[in-house]
Amino acid sequence: MDYRELIKKAEEAREKAYVPYSNFKVGAAVLTEKGEFFTGCNIENASYGATNCAERTAIFKAVSEGEKNIKAIAIVSSSGDFTYPCGICRQVIAEFMRDGEIILGNSKGEYRIYKTEEILPFAFTGQDIK
């Protein structure tokens, strides 16, 4: 898989971020098993708890369009460094891409690739409820 295209889409999404409080822009792009792309940016809110991360925005857009099997997600931020998903996003990633890949990009054009299990070992899943 060519991760550059996915990272480019995440970079484009990052520019749409609404971040009047932190000024920390994050963009994400997911690739589904059907080869479709969905993007998202972080969207802040004055009440902070209503803020939504870029990763969840992209995943929720895919799911709301009927795409529940995600192969990969790329994440970039305005920090210039690698930005890892927060805990809530890791849990959502585990729900929709158990065997997926998380690609983190930085401003130097480098990227790191992780499997979902690497960023959230022993994830709580629907199987745990049964």
**47 labeled part of a ligand binding site:** yes
Distance CA 27, CA 109 (A): 15
Edge-first strand listing for the sheet containing 26-32: 37-41, 26-32, 70-77, 101-105, 111-115
pTM of the entire predicted model: 0.94
Q: What percent of the chain has pLDDT over 70?
A: 96
The pLDDT value recorded for residue 130 is 62
Residue 103's nearest CA partner among 121, 124, 85 is 85
Domains in the chain: ranges and CATH: 3-128 (3.40.140.10)
pLDDT tens, residue by residue, 62-78: 999 999 999 999 999 99
Q: Which residues form the catalytic set? A: 55
Distance CA 109, CA 48 (A): 31
Q: Average pLDDT, whole number, for the chain? A: 95
For the chain, the C-alpha Rg in angstroms (whole number) is 14
Task: Report residue 97's pLDDT band, with 50, 70 and 90 as the boundaries.
Answer: very high
**11 labeled part of a ligand binding site:** no
Distance CA 115, CA 18 (A): 29
Q: What are phi and psi of 61, to 5 degrees?
A: -65, -45
Helical spans, DSSP H, in 1-130: 3-14, 54-64, 87-96, 116-119
**86 labeled part of a ligand binding site:** yes
